[in-house]
Each structure stands twice: as C-alpha cells, then as structure tokens.
Amino acid sequence: MIVAEQKPLDEVYEFAKKYKKVLIMGCGTCVTVCMAGGEKEVGIVANQLRLKAKENGDDFVVDEHTITRQCDKEFFDEETARKIKAADAVVSMACGVGVQYSAEVFPDMLVYPGLNTKFFGTNVEQGVWAERCAGCGECVVGDFGGVCPISRCSKSIMNGPCGGSSDGTCEINPDVDCAWQLIYDRMDKLGKLDELEKNQPIKDWSTARDGGPRTVKRDDVKL
Amino acid sequence: MSDTELKSGSNLEKLLAKGEFVFTGELGPPKSADVELVKKKAEFLKGAVDAVNITDNQTAIVRMSSIAAGLIALQCGLEPVIQITCRDRNRLAMQADVLGAYALGLKNILCLSGDHQCFGNHPTAKNVYDIDSMQLISMLKQMRDDKKFACGDDIRQGKKGPVVEPKIFIGAAANPFGGPIAYRPIRLAKKVAAGADFIQTQCIYDMDRFKKWMQEVVKKGLHEKTAILAGITPLKSVRMAEYMRDNVAGMTVPDHLIERMKNAENPSEEGEKIAIEQVQEMKEIEGVKGVHFMAIEAEKTVKDFAKKAGLLPRPEV
C-alpha cells in the first residue's frame, strides 16, 4: 500500500483558516489501512480544526466526507461533487495521487494535502510501517531472494553490502536492517548463495522516475 | 615488466609490479579553497609514501574536490590516488571526472560507495547512487580496456578523432569485518572480477580476524589477481580505541589492545608502537602487498611513522 502520515495540525490549520468553508476529504483505501487519512482520521482532524478555530476565535466551517478511492474517477459520485462544490477549499487526506486527482476532477477547487505521502510499504508491526518498493519500473527482487536492494538499501546498492553493514544493520541507523544482510540470509536459506557471486550490471534507471513522469499504456484494455 | 605492459604506468602500479612492499597515505582536502594547506600537507607526505589517497568529501563533509586537491598534490611531487564515491555523482559526472583526472596526469582512482550523507554536514541532500562501487570499477575497466563509455560509445571525439582512453590504475576498498562476515571474501572476489587492480582495506586492529580473512582471500587466489594493501590507523587514545570499537561498522578492537592503551603512560606513543608492530606483521602475511596508512588529519606524522617503521627511504621506480 501507499503509506502516508498526517501533516502537523498547525500546517493544515494555517491553510484552512483562510477559507469560510473547508471540506476534509478522506480516502478509503491505502491511507485508511495505514490509519492516516480514512473516515476515522478525517473525523478527528475535522474536530481538532473546529476546536482550534474556537480557541483562536477564527470563523470557518469544517465539513467531512470520505470516498472509497480518491485516485479513481468512479468514486467521485454526486454527493461528493455536491460537498466539494459547497466548500471554498478541500483538504485531501489521500496520498499525493489522491490529492492531485481530486484537483484534476475539480479543476476550480483549491485542494490542499492533509498528509505527507511516504512510500510503498507494509505494516510490519502495530504502528510501524516500512518501505518495500521504490517503483523503479523494472523489478529486480527475483535476483535477490525477494528482497529489494533499490528500496531497502540506503544506497540502493546492487552489489552490496557496502562496508557499513554491521550486525545486520545499516550504517545510517542501528534500527534499520541492512538489506544486504537480509538478501544474504534469504539466499543462504534458499541455497542460492552462488547467485550472489555474479556482478549485477549498471541499472537502467530510465524506467524509474529518472526517465521523466511515467505512464502505462495498454492496448489490450483500451476502449 | 616494461612500461608498455602496464595498465596505467602509475608509480603505484610500477612499484607493485616490481614486488615492492608499498606504503600509501592519505591527504584530506580542506573544508575551504585553501591551496596552501594542501601544499603543506603534500610537503609532509613527500618522500614518505608511494602514493597518496585524496579523499572525496570524506564522511560526507564538503571539501575541496579530490581532483583539484589531487592536481595540487601532483604538482608538489606526490602521486595521488583520486577517490570517487558513488554518493555524489552519476555515471555521466563520474566518466567526465575520470577523463578530466587522466587528462591532468592523475593515474590512480579508488572506487567507493561513500559514507551516507546523513553523517556529514549536508544531511538533507539527495544522494545519487546511480551506480555502485562494483559497477564503478567495471565502468573504469571498460573505459580503460575496451575504450568505451558505459553506454558503449567509443571514447573519441567524432568518428575520425583519436581514441584517447583514460589509462587508470583501478582501486577499490574492502572492509574485511563488515557484515555478513562470510560474504566478505566473496564480495572481494566480485571486485577483483570487476577489475580492481588494488585493494585498500578498512583500518585493521584485530590482526587475528584479518589474518583469517586473508587466508580466505589467498585460498580464492585473489591475492594474485589484485594487490591488497592493509589499512592501518594508529590509535591516539583509549577513547579513540573505544570509539572505533563501538561506532565503526564491523570494526573490532581487541581487548588486549585497549588494555595496552589504558596501561600506557603515553597512549599516543603506544598507539604508534602498536601500528609499527602491525606494519611488521603485515609484511609477513601471505598476499599483503603493502600498507595503506590513514593518519586521519595528521599528515605531518606520516614521515616520522614511516621512518620508525623502517619504511624509508621509499623505493624509486
């Protein structure tokens, strides 16, 4: 899933107070699962803004609404359109994709991000999410026992580990696993250590963000 | 070996080819454009070492560029080893720098991953890591031996221009004590296969572990394909010994050395004594072709150390 975190309330408040009516719009997919921007969080943020407005004597109305996915047109239904149009501005509690897509669907509406989008990751334990994919456009995890060196090594080293790997952790922080220790352990377990003897060639980054903004086009599903 | 058979003709390569036990040093460029400081440091090292590594934004702190400081050192009569990290440059910048370094007469390049920028003075910087140190070694070898850029283009200006490839002596680093420990000799083998002509190791305190690593290296025959230079940094204090032990990835400083430092009247002198003993011991280890001496920010002590360790005068080629 796409993992995100809420922006500091003060930042959202500074935006919201400039308008008479603000809609806090949640997203029911990834950011609901990572407990950052679902219906529940929208309710909490909306209430915090209302309380703060009362405390500060600022006069604005906060409305709430959550849709299944802000990255898909079909979920922007009539009720959503009505709520958006009734507001002066929207704080989107979706990931960066949802924020932008909301603005694309409603080009006249000011949309402000309520979250900081972090990464593609997973929930490793209660309250902890960790990055697993950098979206490089050409998956290589098959060569590395199912562990991605691009997203999980601090230096994206394809022929690791660097000299900074110690006791299974990365030089940047003892709380960060060394991806190459994980790769080594997996390959060892799978009986494929010999595959780590081969030099991985220079990677083609043109499939990653380095190649410019990306699109996927599929003739087989085009109408 | 005649000059025509040499890959680069660098002083370092020639000495190794002659079978000399080489002694390399390190010169840290200043955190300013202070040319005089580079010259002063170069003067300290002149005649004391066979070649001198010019660090590249070491510990991710911005300094005068390795190539610029290297040229000054060259003009002062030293032979530089230009360090290039993968942290700050992509393949375009690296290849351009390699051509430029060679054009200026710099013949040795050491390929490094580089410390993560979070350790330095620009922790909010974006890092590059377009290629890794292994791929950098391969790229330099391809430039030198195949006379081609990473993209496959010939190293020439236009179709009729002469092919002028950078004849570089290629170095790489090795940390014998990093994790996973069993993989370290394999990773060295990868570097050798990629084209590393010489290896400079992380500084070594635990001689027993180093010897075990060297046994693996010799067993794989790597010592015959690359020249291994053992890293030595003298301990200056008990605090430094403990810091090295506790904070540097994979590094162990054996208890008996810490005890020696604690019991010493003058810990700095004791550290020097330990390092001199290490140099002698390194000479006896099969496959070790020299010592890489990293006197961190203490270039002025190198000549004295070399003298005490019986390493002077340095051989001529």
How do residues A11-54 score in pLDDT, each as one tens digit?
Answer: 999 999 999 999 999 999 999 999 999 999 999 999 999 999 99
Domain boundaries along the sequence of chain B: 3-308
CB B195 within 8 A of CB B140: yes
Task: Using alpha carbons, list the distances in angstroms from residue B266 to B260, B263, B310.
Answer: 10, 9, 22
| B86 chain-A contacts, CB cut-off 8 A | 155
Measured between beta carbons, the chain B residues lying within 8 angstroms of A198 are 190
Over residues B156-176, the mean pLDDT reads 96
What pLDDT is recorded for position B247? Answer: 84
Give yes or no for residue A223 having a pLDDT over 90: no
Instruction: Report the residue count for chain B.
Output: 317
Question: Given strand A128-133, what is the order of strands in its sheet?
Answer: A2-6, A115-125, A128-133
Are B202 and B276 in contact by the 8 Å Cβ rule? The answer is no
Closest-CA residue to B45 (of B23, B68, B71): B23
- For residue B251, the model assigns a pLDDT of 84
Asked if the C-beta of B134 comes within 8 angstroms of chain A's C-beta atoms, the answer is: yes
- Residues B94 and B90: their CA atoms lie apart, in Å, by 6
The alpha carbon of residue B307 is apart from the nearest alpha carbon of chain A, in Å, by 31
- Which residue carries 């080489």 as its tokens? B22
pLDDT-derived band at B100 (thresholds 50, 70, 90) equals very high
pLDDT at B4: 63
- Position of tokens 């430029």? B100
Under an 8 A CB cutoff, do A159 and B150 touch?
no
* Interface A:B, Cβ pairs < 8 A: 98
Chain A interface, mutation test: which of B135, B151, B206, B244, most A Cβ atoms within 10 Å? B135
Q: What is the pLDDT of residues B16-65, one digit of tens each?
A: 999 999 999 999 999 999 999 999 999 999 999 999 999 999 999 999 99
Whether B102 and B74 have beta carbons less than 8 Å apart is answered as no
The nearest CA of chain B is from the CA of A124 a distance in Å of 23
- Contact present, B25 and B302 (Cβ < 8 Å): yes
Q: By the CB < 8 Å criterion, does B193 face chain A? A: yes
pLDDT for res B3: 59
Per-residue pLDDT, averaged over B74-99, amounts to: 98
Å from A157 to nearest chain B CA? 5
Among A158, A163, A180, select the one facing B249 at the smallest CB separation.
A163
Interface test with A, best of B83, B88, B129 (most A CBs within 10 A): B129
A interface residues, B as partner, C-beta within 8 Å: 154-168, 171-172, 178, 180-181, 184-185, 193, 196-203, 205
pLDDT-derived band at B297 (thresholds 50, 70, 90) equals confident
Terminal CA-CA length for chain B? 12
Q: Is A98 left (phi over 0), alpha (psi -120 to 50) or beta?
A: alpha
Distance from CA of A110 to the nearest CA of B (A): 30
- Interface contact A184-B183, CB threshold 8 A: yes
Nearest-Cα distance to chain A for B159, in Å, is: 26
For chain A, say whether B12 makes contact (Cβ under 8 Å). no
Tens of pLDDT, residues B191-236: 999 999 999 999 999 999 999 999 999 999 999 999 999 999 999 9
Q: Where are the alpha helices (DSSP H) in A7-138?
A: 9-16, 30-33, 39-56, 78-86, 96-105
Residues in chain A: 223
Which residues of chain B neighbour A166 with C-beta distances below 8 Å? 178-179, 249-250
| Mean pLDDT calculated for residue range A160-165 | 93
Give me the mean pLDDT over the A116-123 stretch.
98
Cα–Cα dist B78/B84, whole Å: 18
Question: Which residues fall within 8 angstroms of residue A97, CB to CB, at 6 or more apart?
Answer: A2, A70, A71, A117
- Spell out the alpha helix ranges (H) of B55-109: 66-75, 91-103
- Name the residue among A154, A166, A180 with its Cβ closest to that of B250: A166
Cβ density class A58-67: b for 16+ within 10 Å, e for less: eebebbbbbb
Please state, in angstroms and rounded to a whole number, the distance separating the CA atoms of residues B172 and B236: 27
pLDDT score at A218: 97
The answer on pLDDT for B1 being more than 60 is no
Q: Inform me whether the C-beta atom of residue B92 falls under 8 Å from chain A C-beta atoms.
A: no
* CATH class label, B3-308: alpha beta
For residue B296, name the pLDDT band (cuts at 50, 70, 90): confident
Token pair of A64, please? 């709430």
Tell me which CATH code domain A2-119 carries.
Answer: 3.40.50
The answer to whether B23 and B49 are in contact (CB under 8 A) is yes
Select from B113, B183, B202 the Cβ nearest to the Cβ of A157.
Answer: B113
CA separation for the pair B27, B44 (Å, rounded): 10
pLDDT at A210 over 70: yes
- Write phi, then psi, for B199 (nearest 5 degrees): -130, 135
pLDDT band at B2 (very low <50, low <70, confident <90, very high): low
